[in-house]
C-alpha cells in the first residue's frame, strides 16, 4: 500500500480539480466526503467530458461527476484477491479504507504486480530448495545404509 497524498473534498468544483491536475505528479485525486470518508477517485480523463463545457465546470462539484466509487480494498484483503478485483475492474489505482470508510492508502496495479511477482519467485525458490534438500537427505540415507558394517557370525 502506498500513501495517499492528493485528496480533495467532494464539494470541490471541476475547475478546481482540473487546476490540481496541472501538476504532472498528480495522476489522480482521492475524493472524500464531509465526514472524511473516502468517496472515490477521480482522474483527469474522467473529467474530460465535463471540461468540454466550460460554463458547466464552475458550478459542478466532483461528487456530481462520474468517477471511480466503492467498493474499496480493505487492509485484510488478500493481495491475490485485490489484484483480481483490480484486473476485473480495470483499475490502475484502488483506494484502501478502514472499516469506517476512512482512507488508509492506495494500491497501484504496478505495485501489486511487483509484490505478486516477488512472492511467486520466493515460493519457487523455496520449493526448489526443499526439493534439493529432500534429494540430498535420501542420498545421505543411502550412503549410511551402504556403509553400515556387516555383522559377522562367530
pTM greater than 0.75 (yes/no): no
Q: Which CATH class name applies to 7-113?
A: alpha beta
> How far are the Cα atoms of 5, 30, 56, 80, 150 from residue 147, in angstroms, in the given order?
68, 70, 89, 50, 9
Burial (CB < 10 A; 0-12, 13-18, 19+), residue 105, is: middle
What is the residue extent of each domain of the chain?
A: 7-113
Average pLDDT of the segment spanning 106-115: 89
Q: Given pLDDT bands bounded at 50, 70 and 90, which one contains residue 130?
A: low
More confident site: 121 or 129: 121
Tens digit of pLDDT for each residue in 6-39?
899 999 999 899 999 999 889 999 999 999 999 9
Contacts of residue 58, Cβ cutoff 8 Å, sequence gap at least 6: 13, 14, 15
Residue with cell 475524493: 31
Amino acid at each position: 500500500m502506498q500513501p495517499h497524498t492528493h485528496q480533495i473534498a467532494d464539494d470541490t468544483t471541476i475547475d478546481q480539480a482540473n487546476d490540481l491536475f496541472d501538476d504532472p505528479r498528480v495522476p489522480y485525486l482521492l475524493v472524500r466526503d464531509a465526514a472524511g470518508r473516502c468517496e472515490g477517485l477521480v482522474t483527469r480523463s474522467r473529467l474530460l467530458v465535463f471540461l468540454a463545457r466550460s460554463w458547466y465546470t464552475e458550478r459542478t462539484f466532483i461528487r456530481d461527476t462520474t468517477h471511480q466509487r466503492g467498493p474499496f480494498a480493505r487492509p485484510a484483503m488478500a493481495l491475490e484477491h485485490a489484484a483480481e478485483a483490480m484486473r476485473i475492474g480495470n483499475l490502475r489505482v484502488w483506494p484502501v479504507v478502514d472499516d469506517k470508510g476512512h482512507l488508509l492508502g492506495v494500491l497501484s496495479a504496478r505495485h501489486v504486480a511487483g509484490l505478486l511477482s516477488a512472492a511467486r519467485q520466493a515460493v519457487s525458490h523455496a520449493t526448489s530448495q526443499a526439493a534439493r534438500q529432500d534429494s540430498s537427505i535420501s542420498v545421505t540415507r543411502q550412503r549410511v545404509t551402504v556403509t553400515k558394517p556387516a555383522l559377522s557370525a562367530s
